[in-house]
């Protein structure tokens, strides 16, 4: 990747508490190219949503970025003052959240919210901004956009509200969109429409997308690459087809094996015993080792970095040269 749009380097997010500091995201690094969709998948509590919130500058206190760098088109943005980051958010980075009702003000029409967003970030008058708002609603698939623009959020279905949120996210033609569980609250047919819409935005506008989800089906349909997170770290990252068909990290293997197959070739689903550790009880070494069927001594002592593992990279000592012999 010669010229990535987004670069995240060794990101660490911490939460100071009375009993000590909890590390929720620990040494996460990845990059996204223009027009690329990077899927970030993992169980609840893996740190995927916090990673997105850190990028967009919306970490809830007392959460803080304790280490690492975030660069957008080469410019560092993690250390910007609040007002400078607010100008980037919306103009250069858009956000789509799981529940559209939390992103839309119920007291204002969707047209007013779109026009205000457009005028905040682009040099447009009211009339031009309204025309742009109608165009956006049409682009995201709202029928009769010219009539519906003056309606309120409660007058739209869940899927239509999510389309409005996407219109808000792309109103200022951002370079990057952070989409956090954008299809979770929607039925399957609406999910497919939202996925198709996100893919079209990438294709037509060159927008980069970080798609945060727990749904591997959505990842398979949408993403170019996928990062699998576990206990605040990336367990595996690589091309989506390779990770799905030939996962390398034992955790990813368990995830893929737990998904039902429509082909009917799988006699039984895999089960990963145990649960993901709490933030105040992250084990030493590889955080997955208490649940791993292929664990050996080194896994318990040393934390692995991402290592080459075929088409992808996996944070697993199985892919270190001679590791089993050294750890035995």
Burial-class residue 275 by CB neighbours within 10 Å (0-12, 13-18, 19+): exposed
Kind and range of the H or E element at 241? Answer: helix 240-245
One domain for residues 137 and 88? no
Are 65 and 109 within one domain? no
Instruction: For residue 112, give Cα distances in angstroms to 71, 81, 90, 319.
Output: 32, 28, 16, 55
94 bridge partner residues: 177
* Judgement on whether residues 217 and 82 belong to the same structural domain of the protein: yes
Question: For position 62, which CATH number holds?
Answer: 3.40.50.300
Which of 143, 171, 199 delimits the end of a domain?
Answer: 171
Are 180 and 56 members of one domain? Answer: yes
Residue 97 falls within a domain, yes or no? no
**Separation of first and last alpha carbons in the chain:** 37
| Structural domains counted in the chain | 2
Q: What is the model's pLDDT at position 327?
A: 43
The reply to whether 156 and 255 lie within a common domain is: no
Statement to judge: residues 71 and 214 lie in one domain: yes
Query: What is the structure's pLDDT at 271?
Result: 80
Residues 199 and 266 grouped into a single domain? yes
The predicted structure's pLDDT at residue 188: 81
98 domain-assigned: no
pLDDT tens, position by position, 220-260: 889 999 999 999 999 999 999 999 999 999 999 998 888 77
Same domain, 258 and 166: no
Nearest Cα neighbor of 164 from 196, 197, 188, 192 is 197
- Tell me the whole-structure pTM to 2 decimals: 0.91
Residues 165-182 have pLDDT tens digits of 999 998 988 999 999 998
Query: Is 213 within the bounds of a domain?
Result: yes
Question: Which structural domain, as residue segments, surrounds residue 262?
Answer: 6-92+172-327
Q: What angle do CA 193, 92, 121 make, to 5 degrees?
A: 100
> Is 111 a member of any domain?
yes
**Same structural domain for residues 217 and 305?**
yes
């Amino acid at each position: 990747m010669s010229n990535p749009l987004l670069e995240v380097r060794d990101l660490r997010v911490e939460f100071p508490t009375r009993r000590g500091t909890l590390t929720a995201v620990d040494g996460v690094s990845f990059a996204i190219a223009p027009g690329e969709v990077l899927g970030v998948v993992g169980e609840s509590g893996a740190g995927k949503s916090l990673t997105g919130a850190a990028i967009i500058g919306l970490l809830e206190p007392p959460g803080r970025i304790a280490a690492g760098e975030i660069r957008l088109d080469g410019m560092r943005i993690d250390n910007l003052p609040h007002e400078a980051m607010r100008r980037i958010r919306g103009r250069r980075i858009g956000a789509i959240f799981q529940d559209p009702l939390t992103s839309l003000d119920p007291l204002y029409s969707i047209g007013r919210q779109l026009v205000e967003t457009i005028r905040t970030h682009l040099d447009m008058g009211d009339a031009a901004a309204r025309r742009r708002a109608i165009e956006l609603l049409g682009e995201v698939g709202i029928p009769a956009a010219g009539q519906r623009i003056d309606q309120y959020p409660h007058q739209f279905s869940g899927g239509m509200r999510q389309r409005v949120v996407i219109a808000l996210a792309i109103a200022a033609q951002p370079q990057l969109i952070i989409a956090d569980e954008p299809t979770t609250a929607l039925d399957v047919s609406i999910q497919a429409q939202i996925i198709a819409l996100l893919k079209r935005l990438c294709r037509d506008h060159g927008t980069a997308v970080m798609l945060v989800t727990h749904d591997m089906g959505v990842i398979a349909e949408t993403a170019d690459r996928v990062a699998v997170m576990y206990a605040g770290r990336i367990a595996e990252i690589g091309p989506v087809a390779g990770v799905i068909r030939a996962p390398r990290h034992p955790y990813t293997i368990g995830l893929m094996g737990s998904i039902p197959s429509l082909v009917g070739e799988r006699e039984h689903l895999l089960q990963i015993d145990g649960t993901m550790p709490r933030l105040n009880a992250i084990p030493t070494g590889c955080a997955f080792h208490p649940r791993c069927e292929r664990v050996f001594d080194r896994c318990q002592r040393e934390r692995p970095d991402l290592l080459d593992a075929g088409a992808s990279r996996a944070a697993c000592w199985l892919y270190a040269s001679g590791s089993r012999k050294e750890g035995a």
